Structure 1
Amino acid sequence: MTADATRTYDRGPDVKFPPPLLFVGGLGLGVLLDRFGRVPFEITAPSLVTVLGLVLGVAGLAIVYTGIVTFRRARTAVYPNRPAKRVVQHGIYAYTRNPMYVGMAVFYIGGVLVTASLAALVLLPVVLRVLHVHVIAREERHLHAAFPEEYAAYCAKVGRWW
């Protein structure tokens, strides 16, 4: 089998689902639990909190977008079911190894504030744990295997989250 044929079948970290689904699912489930379940506490969202939530939501999307654009300009895979072609260390990746996930978490917190959903806030650590175990750990294993020295040096220099 040629190198090109092998690359065709390489699924990179082989993540089984789109990571944004974790955040949308957690936030949606939390809002549903608050609306239809028996949650012992209620958060009231004054207009200032709602505005802060909107600002965080937009900022989170901007961080995600910046990460995607940086990957596209570096001509490497954006989707975690495709192999990385290089370790991207410039732009926002000089500050965090996972800007898209940081952005999704910031967006999620904004959504918590806008919806005033305590259940969604409580679910955030669960979302982040599932993300770490089923996505980030796979991505890191893939990058360590594909670029052992370069990725190890990058990890020593730049934190996973910020």
Structure 2
Amino acid sequence: MWLVSLLTTPMLFLAGIRMLLVGLCLILGVAVATAGVLIFKNVQTTVNPLRPQNTTCLVKTGVYQFTRNPMYLGLFFMLLGWGCYLANGYALVMSLVFVLYMNHFQIVPEERCLSALFGDEYEAYKQSVRRWL
């Protein structure tokens, strides 16, 4: 995002509004991601996204009632904040590239693993709670 912002023209953004958006996105991102991590730590299941097979329980409480992926959603909000800080439309588009990448290369494989581990319970959860928001 930073490199893209250096190579392209910045957007015209009122500094006060831009910094307000930066702050809101960062606070929301950190809060959502932290809530997801803390719940996983509380129930003693893995937070390692590279080892979904080590998941010990299906978490459906707290922030997981609203999104199946609060840690990734938090990162997305933080990237939006960074894009706003850079004041660059192309940098903001890169945050959407993050969503597409995560869906394809991280979330879909995790979902396959969780379906294998938790079966119908996970399938019902997927039907009741959205992947992102």
For the pair 1:122 / 2:96, whether they are aligned, the reply is no
Corresponding residue number in structure 2 for 1:158: 129
**TM-score scaled to structure 1, two decimals?**
0.75
- The correspondence for 1:48, drawn from 1, 6, 17, is 17
Report what 1:109 is aligned to.
80
Q: What CA distance in whole angstroms lies between the structure 1 residues aligned with 2:71 and 2:78?
A: 10
Alignment partner of 1:75 out of 11, 28, 44 = 44
Structure 1 residue 96, shift from structure 2 partner: 0.8
The unaligned stretches of length 5 or more in structure 2 are: none
Q: Partner amino acid for 2:47? A: V
Structure 1: gaps (5+ residues): 1-29
Q: Secondary structure at the match of 1:146?
A: helix
The separation in 2 between residues aligned to 1:125 and 1:59, in whole angstroms, is 17
- Residues 98 and 161 in structure 1, CA contact (< 8 A), matched pair in contact too: yes
Number of equivalent positions: 130
Which entry has the higher C-alpha Rg, 1 or 2? Answer: 1
Corresponding letter in the other structure for 1:128: V
8 Å Cα contact 2:10-2:86 kept in structure 1: no
Structure 1 runs (4+) greater than 3 angstroms displaced = none
* Residues 29 and 75, structure 2, Cα contact 8 Å, conserved in 1: yes
Question: Is this contact kept in 1: 2:83–2:95, CA < 8 A?
Answer: no
Between Structure 1 and Structure 2, which shows a larger proportion of helix residues?
Answer: 2
State the partner residue of 2:107.
Answer: 136
Shift of 1:139: 0.6
The AA in structure 2 aligned to 1:134 is: F
Deviations 1:89-132 (A, max 9, x none): 01110111011111111111111111212221122222211111
Q: Root-mean-square deviation (CA), in Å? A: 1.3
| Equivalent residue number for residue 117 of structure 2 | 146
How far residue 63 of structure 1 moved from its aligned partner, in angstroms, is: 0.7
